[in-house]
């Protein structure tokens, strides 16, 4: 079970993403539930949200290998390129598209964890 940080300013979108994450057997958390020092396994980010984008940049400084999966209404831009997101899913999306992107990102997260443990 992975801990997935969901950062989306729209409550309906956040709820939808939380349900999807739960359905896949993972633990969704929001910005307010992120405790000091906690390291989520993945971040789902709506980069069109300026506060969310700032949080992503702060987390990226502390957690260099944190996979960030952008789920956005807007196409990728300069602000998101510096995040080195593992994938970018455009809204509206098919559930299967987001599920596959999420699973690929979690595999990358696990692979990065294995590298850190063997180093």
**Which residue(s) pair with 3 in the sheet?**
27
Distance CA 105, CA 20 (A): 15
Q: Which residue has the tokens 């989306």?
A: 8
Q: Looking at the predicted structure, is the pLDDT value of residue 115 above 50?
A: no
Q: Which candidate, 65, 64, 69, 76, places its Cα nearest to that of 100?
A: 69
| Contact in structure between 64 and 112 (CB atoms under 8 Å) | no
Give the residue, 58 or 37, on which the prediction is more confident: 58
pLDDT digits (tens, 9 = 90+) for 16-38: 999 999 999 999 999 888 777 77
Q: Looking at the predicted structure, is the pLDDT value of residue 43 above 50?
A: yes
Provide the CATH topology of domain 3-118: Rossmann fold (3.40.50)
- Please compute the mean of the pLDDT values over residues 77-99 and round it to a whole number: 91
């Amino acid at each position: 079970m992975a801990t997935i940080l969901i950062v989306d300013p729209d409550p309906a979108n956040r709820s939808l993403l939380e349900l999807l994450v739960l359905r896949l057997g993972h633990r969704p958390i929001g910005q307010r539930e992120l405790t000091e020092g906690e390291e989520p396994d993945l971040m789902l980010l709506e980069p069109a949200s300026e506060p969310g984008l700032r949080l992503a940049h702060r987390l990226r400084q502390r957690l260099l290998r944190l996979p960030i999966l952008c789920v956005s209404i807007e196409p990728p831009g300069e602000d998101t390129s510096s995040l080195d997101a593992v994938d970018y899913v455009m809204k509206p999306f098919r559930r299967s598209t987001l599920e596959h992107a999420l699973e690929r990102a979690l595999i990358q997260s696990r692979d990065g964890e294995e590298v850190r443990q063997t180093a």
